Amino acid sequence: MSLQELQARLAAADARIQHGNDERTAGADDKARAISEEVARRGHGGARQLAAELGVSEKTISQVVARARRAGQPGRRLPSDTLDRLLAAELATVPPLRSDQWEALAWMVRGTFIDVSWIEEPGELLAGEIEDAELDPALDPAQIAQACRGWLRVQALAVIDACQRDDLAALPVKE
């Protein structure tokens, strides 16, 4: 692996870590807003009641309410599971391949470093990897490559995701 490839992989890992940290912060802010709204809804003595019900101190409730004030209103964001749901929906539209072809494609995907540059033409890049691999002719690599080239961008990314997660059961199989 070249230094440039290592740096790209480290940058991708750092981006995932930052995304996780951002999600954790957003979740804590959402939780704080929910508690703050409930305290306000209950009115006088609401913080004490809620603290008792949640099994925390009034000081903790006070700190959470202060966090909610600092957090402000949430920005418009898609639900956190939007990407997973989108990829699952796209997999349902992918034309089927034989199970042995999916297995070969998954094997190839798991052995390939896929970074953000794949966003532009994932189907074409997959097809190139299939053509460069020395696959058993019985798998009909040309058919797999042709299928990859025929996928829309999101379909190809959905296939890559399923292969990376080793979720071949999610891929449509030609009987």
Distance, in Å, from the CA atom of 120 to the CA atom of 32, rounded to the nearest integer, reads 39
pLDDT at 76: 66
Rounded average pLDDT per 10-residue block, the chain, 175 residues: 83 83 86 90 90 92 89 72 90 95 94 90 96 93 96 96 92 89
Q: Does residue 173 contact residue 96 with C-beta atoms inside 8 Å?
A: yes
Q: Tell the residue number behind the tokens 């101190």, with chain if given.
A: 57
Residue with tokens 């704080």: 32
The 3-state secondary structure of 50-63, one letter per residue: HHHHHCCCHHHHHH
Given this model, what pLDDT does residue 75 score?
A: 65
